């Protein structure tokens, strides 16, 4: 149940209203797009920032957690891109890449893209006003009543529209790199679309990069949407590395996916080193015999907060979905997992399973699990589960008796816990990169867990 109670506006909501009024005339798009923006902000303004009385946001009270909003980011100039080019060269960034700097498409830093793949800026698409692309970009029906998605539609500044021609097979990852380039704290709103034609195949690898980290002042805010359309028989392997953010930052991500007949969608996300992040996915099976595998690992410490919320809609019959997520929480971190599998009338032969496992390394850490099934068909196989616990002290003791120091034994068990999902990515280079991120997080931990230390000494 959602309670439509709107208390007094917060400073963040007041600032966002003023920012929209001040910037809407300069935002890209046709007259129809401008009307869409107005309607979207009106929808946001009715409910305001999500709060705990809204069921889907009960465990992530954004109204309380984000008291202030930041000025909108501006597109950086040539000197910033020249410096970024040098950083990319030094860091050996992948050649096959698409770059967004503060949400703006940077063509001069993008390149190496294969045949059969077309990339345009969101701004150019909105200005062109092609009806089919605008309809896809809006995707009102996938995320109805979500005020953060509405806010993104109202304030979207740029992004990319990627089209993969039918039958095209792209084996190596196309890298979508999100760069934080603004030297001062700013908010950016990006919306991107990925259209994969019938029988085509693509691997999209999203990552983050902070430009000139040494001079970065304060934490930013991001509201990003990715809309995906999979044609019949198409395949998409998607990875998202939600790392390399500044402490205290806010990142809100919405992924909306339409899956055609016999198509396959695999998605993995690693969340680590963040302030507040919410990743919400709205996935709809619109064609028979399709498959989706959603998974992720969240590594949290300090007072970090990570929320993964899923809505998987089985509209067509004979589809398979698997959702598996793992959390490792230390110190005073908070994890949230909410997942709903909805099986519509007529979606017979649905096979859906959802599981979340959380490892708590501190008695001050908190995990909120809420898996749900909503079934309106009678010939289905569906299930869900959730577990929370600590490390097995017997396993720790066994490894110590074999000569491993406690910290190494603990790290080995935690790496295995997270690595099970990382190894399922299906690309050797990406698996190695994600394992390095996991190992770096484990290496940065301060000392053994209190519970385990007390149990075996």
Per-residue pLDDT of 122-147, as tens digits, reads 999 999 988 999 999 998 788 878 99
% residues pLDDT > 70 (the chain): 94
* Per-residue confidence (pLDDT) for residue 446, from 0 to 100: 54
Helix (H, G, I), strand (E, B) or coil at 168: coil
Order of strands across the sheet with 366-375? 117-121, 160-164, 187-196, 221-230, 250-259, 276-285, 305-314, 334-343, 366-375
* Per-residue confidence (pLDDT) for residue 453, from 0 to 100: 39
* Per-residue confidence (pLDDT) for residue 442, from 0 to 100: 93
* Per-residue confidence (pLDDT) for residue 184, from 0 to 100: 87
285: left (phi over 0), alpha (psi -120 to 50) or beta: beta
Q: Which residue in 311, 318, 226, 329 sits closest to 271, CA to CA?
A: 329
The model's pTM is 0.93
* Per-residue confidence (pLDDT) for residue 432, from 0 to 100: 96
* Per-residue confidence (pLDDT) for residue 142, from 0 to 100: 86
- Are 147 and 43 spatial neighbours (Cβ–Cβ below 8 Å)? yes
Residues 6+ positions from 394 with CB-CB distance below 8 Å? none
- Are 203 and 232 spatial neighbours (Cβ–Cβ below 8 Å)? no
The residue-averaged pLDDT of 254-267 equals 98
* Per-residue confidence (pLDDT) for residue 273, from 0 to 100: 80
The residue-averaged pLDDT of 388-411 equals 93
* Per-residue confidence (pLDDT) for residue 193, from 0 to 100: 97
The residue-averaged pLDDT of 38-53 equals 94
């Amino acid at each position: 149940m959602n309670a439509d109670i709107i208390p007094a506006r917060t400073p963040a909501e007041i600032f966002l209203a003023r920012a929209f009024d001040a910037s809407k005339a300069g935002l890209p798009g046709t007259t129809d797009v401008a009307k869409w923006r107005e309607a979207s902000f009106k929808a946001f303004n009715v409910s305001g920032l999500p709060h705990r009385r809204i069921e889907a946001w009960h465990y992530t009270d954004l109204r309380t957690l984000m008291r202030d909003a930041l000025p909108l980011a501006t597109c950086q100039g040539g000197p910033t891109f020249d410096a970024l080019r040098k950083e990319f060269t030094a860091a050996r960034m992948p050649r096959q890449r698409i770059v967004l700097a503060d949400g703006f498409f940077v063509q001069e830093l993008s390149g190496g893209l294969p045949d059969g793949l077309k990339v345009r800026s969101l701004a150019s698409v909105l200005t062109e006003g092609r009806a089919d692309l605008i309809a896809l970009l809006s995707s009102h029906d996938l995320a109805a009543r979500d005020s953060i998605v509405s806010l993104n539609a109202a304030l979207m500044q740029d992004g990319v529209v990627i089209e993969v021609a039918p039958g095209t097979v792209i084996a190596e990852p196309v890298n979508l790199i999100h760069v934080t380039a603004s030297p001062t704290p700013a908010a950016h709103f990006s919306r991107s679309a990925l259209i994969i034609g019938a029988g085509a195949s693509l691997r999209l690898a999203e990552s983050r990069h902070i430009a000139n980290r040494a001079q970065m002042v304060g934490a930013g805010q991001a509201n990003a949407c990715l809309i995906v359309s999979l044609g019949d028989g198409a395949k998409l392997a998607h990875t998202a590395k939600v790392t390399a953010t500044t402490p205290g930052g806010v990142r809100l991500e919405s992924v909306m996916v339409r899956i055609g007949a016999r198509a396959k969608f695999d998605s993995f996300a690693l969340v680590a080193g963040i302030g507040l992040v919410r990743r919400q996915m709205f996935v709809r099976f619109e064609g028979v015999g399709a498959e989706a595998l959603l998974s992720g690992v969240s590594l949290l410490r300090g007072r970090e907060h990570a929320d993964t919320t899923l809505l998987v809609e089985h509209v067509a019959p004979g589809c398979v979905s698997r959702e598996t997520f793992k959390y490792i929480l230390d110190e005073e971190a908070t994890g949230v997992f909410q997942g709903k599998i909805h099986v519509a009338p007529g979606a017979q032969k649905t096979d859906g399973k959802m599981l979340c496992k959380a490892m708590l390394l501190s008695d001050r850490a908190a995990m909120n699990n809420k898996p749900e099934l909503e079934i309106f068909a009678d010939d289905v196989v569906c299930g869900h589960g959730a577990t929370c616990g600590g490390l097995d002290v017997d396993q720790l003791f066994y490894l110590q008796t074999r000569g491993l120091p406690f910290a190494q034994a603990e790290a080995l068990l935690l790496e295995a816990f997270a690595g099970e999902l990382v190894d399922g990515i299906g690309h050797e280079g990406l698996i190695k990169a994600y394992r390095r991120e996991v190992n770096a997080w484990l290496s940065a931990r301060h000392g053994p867990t209190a519970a385990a230390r007390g149990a075996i000494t």
